[in-house]
Structure 1
Amino acid sequence: MDQVVHNFVEVNGVKLHLAEIGSKSSPVVVFVHGFPEIWYSWRHQMIAVANAGYRAIAPDCRGYGLSDPPPETEKFGFSDLVDDLLAIVDSLGIDKISIIAKDAGTRPAYLFALRYPTRVTGVISIGIPHAPFGPATFLKELPEGFYINRWREPGRAEADFGRLDAKTVVRNVYILFSRSELPIASESQEIMDIVGPSTPLPSWFTEEDLSVYGALYEKSGFLNPLKVPYRSMDEEYNIVDPVIKNPMLLIVGEQDYFFKFPGVDDLVKSGMVKYFATDLEVEYVAEGSHFVQEQFPDKVNSLILSFLDKHRSP
């Protein structure tokens, strides 16, 4: 990772950390992370696209990693991440970008494409298909102990996480999210209790990787990462037409627990997802987990580069 350059830009009243690799004259690919991730979760993809002739830029979202927290956590929402993304590319003098996003990072990526379609060459999403934004009705279909229901409750996750150091919290979340079953605690458990202290890390996630994440979450804490995404899911955006018309690729790990959320698997397999993204390709990665881009980087990189090259701007 020595090739990656780290810079900061001041936009919208905060200083944001950017990891970057590749020639400044090359087509730009911006990576948007989810939770519990940071720029580092794109380490394999950044190097691959840079080696293929692209400029890779991966911000830490505000409130995450080395980026500043929002001035007021209670007012922090997904719209801030969209505004930050626009301000970053404007501050760097970049006209058009391809966006690669995962998990909660897909929402600001989709919103950016809907609001600024002429600034987007294409969108690659990992794990979460695009659908019209609205209240998360599936939460009512899942038990009280479902992790999102718990984490949306003010103070609940803070107390749960606060029993452990940041590195252990990230370890436990990575283990939970790498499984194919939904993370659901019993009435007598908190979410962190689901993972035992002797449970091994996934084979593709090293202790060195965990140390990088742990150090960054030690700095940022978890308050803002809990606010966005989990406590901002009902945010409204005033989007008139929710259909993305830019070229899109959805990469799905076949063992991703997210596809056990009510309605998600059917949305994709029925083809209905293409009503909301009219130029969409879907690719499955066998045995892929929620962290498919870290688990099978070569497979994911091949899919990414094929899409980027097909839609490459002159």
Structure 2
Amino acid sequence: MDEIKHTYIQVNGLKLHVATIGSDSSPAVVFLHGFPEIWYTWRHQMIAVANAGFRAIAPDYRGYGLSDIPAKPEETLFVDLVNDTASILESLAISKVFVIGKDFGAMVAYIFSLFHPEKVAGVITLGVPYRPPGFHKSHQVLPEGFYIRRWQEPGRAEADFGRFDAKTVVRKIYIMFSSSEIPIASENQEIMDLVDPSTPLPSWFTEDDLAVYGDLYQKSGFETPLQVPYRSFKEKIGSQQDPSDLKIEAPALLIMGEEDYVFKFPGTEEYLKSGEVKKYVPNLDIIYLPQGCHFVQEQFPDQVNQLILDFLSHNKY
């Protein structure tokens, strides 16, 4: 971990924190985190790819971790994160890159691949496949207590999270998202109360790990993270052409834990196992990890590292 360097890059009016490891002349891999994560979620993968001869780059998004909080967090969009990623790579003089995204970082990775196909050597996502525009509407069939619907409601999550310090919020969400069940609260229950305070952390996530996350979310707060992703799902990306015309042609890999609660989102398993996803990502391979939860990169780092390295080696530029 001491080998990882931490720098700040001025991007689109903000100073963004970027963690890097590996030679500047090596093929580059950019890691895009999800929620409730920051660059640190990729610690195992960054070291593995650097040891294999690649350059690992893991930014904190605007409003996350050590990066600046935008002046108006409530106006942040997915496209801002995509443009920030492009600007970071341009600042580092990287013209071609492997893009790896976890959770909603998968959406950032895929939108980046749509906007900048000439820059993408390959794309790997963990936990979330490519979703065509409008897929978020499937959320509406879930109950009112579905965590995404609750967090989309202005003020609801802020009041819920505000009862606890940042470290406790991250602890509860990590435990909740490690389950195979979709987090859904009853009518008079808040999302944070779905997790009993005595519930232990997953065995692969230590108190020291939690302390890193807690410190960084204490700094950033949750205003930007609640905006992107949860309150930005309806954002219109790019031109409004027929979604079936949007194709990611780059080599692609989806790593999915078989116990990931995202599998239970309406239509997701059928979308993946029927092959419909390949209408949009024709060069996609899918690998399922038995017992894998939503955080496979931390739960099974060795397996995930090997899958990533095999993909990078096969598609090396």
TM-score (norm 1): 0.98
TM-score (ref. length: structure 2): 0.97
Q: Does the 8 A contact of 2:82 with 2:111 survive in 1?
A: yes
Superposed, 1:232-243 pairs within 5 Å as 232-239=232-239, 240=241, 241-243=245-247
Does structure 2 retain, via aligned residues, the 8 Å contact 1:29–1:99? Answer: yes
Q: What residue identity is the alignment partner of 1:277?
A: V
- How far is the alpha carbon of 1:74 from its aligned partner? 2.6
Name the CA distance, whole Å, in 1 between partners of 2:158 and 2:150.
10
Is the Cα–Cα contact under 8 Å of residues 106 and 128 in structure 1 kept in the other structure? yes
**2-structure distance, mates of 1:298, 1:47:** 11
Aligned to 1:195: 195
1:133 Cα offset (Å): 1.8
**1:312 paired to 2:316:** yes
Counterparts of 1:253 and 1:135 in 2: how far apart (Å)?
Answer: 21
Match of 2:281 among 277, 284, 304: 277
My pick for the range that moved more, 39-48 or 234-243, is: 234-243
* Match in the other structure for 1:37: 37
Give 1:135 deviation, angstroms. 5.7
**Number of the residue aligned with 1:248:** 252
Aligned to 1:297: 301
Aligned-pair CA distance for 1:228: 0.2
Distance 2:135 2:98 in 1: 28
Partner of 1:59: 59
Q: What SS does structure 1 have at the residue aligned with 2:18?
A: strand
Post-superposition shift, 1:134?
2.1
Which amino acid is the alignment partner of residue 248 of structure 1?
A
- 1:213 is the counterpart of 2:213: yes
Which residue of structure 1 aligns with residue 25 of structure 2?
25
Cα deviation 1:10-29 (Å, max 9, x = unaligned): 01010000000001110000
Task: Check the 8 A contact 1:114/1:242 in 2, yes or no.
Answer: yes
Amino acid at match of 1:213: Y
C-alpha deviation, 1:70, in angstroms: 1.6
For the Cα contact (< 8 Å) 1:89–1:95, is it kept in 2?
yes
Q: Is the 8 A contact 1:135 1:233 kept in 2?
A: no
Are the aligned partners of 1:134 and 1:236 in contact in 2 as well (CA < 8 Å)? no
Distance 2:44 2:276 in 1: 31
Q: Contact 2:271–2:277 at 8 Å: present in 1 too? A: yes
Show the counterpart of 2:263. Answer: 259
Identity %: 62
Q: Secondary structure at the match of 1:228?
A: helix
Structure 1 residue 137 displacement after superposition? 1.1
Gap regions ≥5 residues in structure 1: none
Whole-angstrom CA distance in 1 between matches of 2:56 and 2:71: 28
State the SS of the aligned residue for 1:132: coil
Q: CA deviation at 1:187?
A: 1.2
After superposition, the C-alpha distances for 1:123-166 in whole angstroms (9 at most, x for unaligned) are: 00001111312261122110001100100000000000000000
Q: Is the 8 A contact 2:75 2:227 kept in 1?
A: no
Correspondence for 1:90: 90
2-structure distance, mates of 1:135, 1:155: 25
Structure 1 CA distance, aligned partners of 2:36 and 2:234?
20
Shift of 1:186: 0.9
User: Alignment partner of 2:231: what SS?
Assistant: helix
The equivalent residue for 1:183 is 183
Can you list the C-alpha shifts for 1:181-216, whole angstroms capped at 9, x where unaligned? 010111121000011110000000000000000000
Deviation per residue, 1:205-238 (Å, 9 max, x gap):
0000000000000000001100000000000013
Matched positions, count: 313
Cα offsets for 1:267-286 (capped at 9, x unmatched): 11001111110111111111
2:103: which partner in 1? Answer: 103
2:247/2:281 contact within 8 Å kept = yes
Gaps of 5+ in 2: none
In 1, Cα distance between equivalents of 2:131 and 2:41: 24
Map residues 141-152 of structure 1 onto 2, 5 A cutoff: 141-152=141-152
Q: CA RMSD in A?
A: 0.8
Letter in 1 for 2:279: Y
Report the counterpart of residue 70 of structure 2 in structure 1. Answer: 70
CA distance in 1: counterparts of 2:273 and 2:186, whole angstroms: 31
Equivalent AA in structure 2 for residue 260 of structure 1: K
